[in-house]
Amino acid sequence: MKIALFQPDIPQNAGTIIRTAACLGVGVDLIEPLGFVLSDKHLKRAGMDYLNMAHVERHNSWQTFMASRETAPGRLVLLTTGANTPYTDFEFSIDDTILLGSESSGVPDFVHQSVDARLIIPMSGNARSLNVAIAGAMVLGEALRQSANN
């Protein structure tokens, strides 16, 4: 299982996601351009010493990321506020890659059209969205729980 970050903007979120992935033993794909440099002090602070433990692959574009997936097993699963299927109703596979959009703009239409599934985290009231690192951790936790039971 992997987490992919599409053009992340906020280094603290990327650091938190990389730290979470390292702790849970999943890889991270960073799809450029990034809104920060990887030596950013905020990324390092959020990721702490876990950044060195994480398996991170950088892709210089969406096209190179997708080319890397041609031989990879599993589905590309997008978390988006524009989905209808709750993540808790989805059957995850250990080979899935959970894709998170950029904090400022999500993902463009061509990414929506390229994924195998689009999932939403149901929220109450007028809430629009969760922090991307929190959303990623919630869904990754459920995906790993399901995979452990299969």
Residue 18 contacts by C-beta under 8 Å, 6 or more apart in sequence? 28, 43, 47, 50, 51, 54, 56
Tens digits of residue pLDDT in 67-114 = 999 988 899 999 999 999 999 999 999 999 999 999 889 999 999 999
Tens digits of residue pLDDT in 56-70 = 898 999 999 999 999
Our count of domains for the chain comes to: 1
Cis peptide leading into residue 11 (ω within 30°) = no
Question: Which CATH number belongs to the domain containing residue 119 in this structure?
Answer: 3.40.1280.10
Residue 38, domain extent: 2-148
**Cα 45 from Cα 14, distance rounded (Å):** 11
**Cα 41 from Cα 12, distance rounded (Å):** 9
**Predicted TM-score (pTM) of this structure:** 0.91
**Interstrand relation of 85-86 and 56-59 (parallel, antiparallel or unpaired):** unpaired
**Cα 44 from Cα 14, distance rounded (Å):** 10
